[in-house]
A = this chain, B = another copy of it.
């Protein structure tokens, strides 16, 4: 059993080298999910929290309330360094590496079952984004919330009641540049099919995984006669990733 990344490090390196230009691969991974794992440093300790995200050509937008609970700089300012969410506890000033977060999006595609335990692994697609988050306010926050909502639940921005001023104020959205991003993809059969272990006569291959939307389940408090709209009902049976 190798770790997720071990088998594909060469490809990772290749993509990392091309990372700034290979945007298509990055967008594909980001498009295939709506929950990321956001890593921050809090008092010198890493904290990894799942949260929803959306993105546009240049930025990832994540809900940041959990991550920002323990963070110090709340308000944006004209000083880009001060805009950074500072961990405030690793002995580094604002705007330094200590303010950087890491956002990872991972889709599991299957389990790679090899002839040897050592060659076992996972097929997956993963994107990793490093950046100094900027806390959005006002129109910029509203626009990002729309992107994030439409990414997770396409059609709901126009269908549901939009946020009031108070609700928007209670929402934290962080923008993170996509400039520092890498993509790792592992796919295909195990690698020991042409080695000595092939002689063992063992079955080898991939057990694929699929994440699928099921039929919508109505809120028990919903009155009779309100059917789910097409933009919701139409997702049932389709693959998320």
Contact = CB atoms under 8 A, between A and B. Distances in A.
Interface of A: 1-6, 34-35, 37-41, 43-52, 62-66, 90-92, 96-98, 100-104, 106, 108, 110-111, 113-118, 120, 122, 124, 126, 128, 130, 145, 148-149, 152-153, 156-157, 159-164, 167, 170-172, 189-190, 193-194, 197-198, 200-223, 226-229, 232, 235-236, 240
Can you list the 5 inter-chain pairs with the closest CB atoms, starting with the nearest?
A: A3-B63, A193-B221, A39-B46, A39-B48, A189-B219
A140 B100 CA distance: 36
A89 to B, nearest CB: 9
Contacts of A221: 189, 193-194, 198
Contacts of A153: 1, 111, 113, 120, 207
A96 to B, nearest CB: 7
A203 B106 CA distance: 31
A208 to B, nearest CB: 4
Copies in the complex: 2
A125 to B, nearest CB: 10
B217 A206 contact: yes
Query: Could you tell me the dominant secondary structure of chain A's interface residues?
Result: mixed
Contacts of A101: 46
A52 B216 CA distance: 31
Given A117-B157, A200-B161, A104 B49 contact: yes
Contacts of A106: 35, 37, 50
A222 to B, nearest CB: 6
B212 A209 contact: yes
A40 B159 CA distance: 41
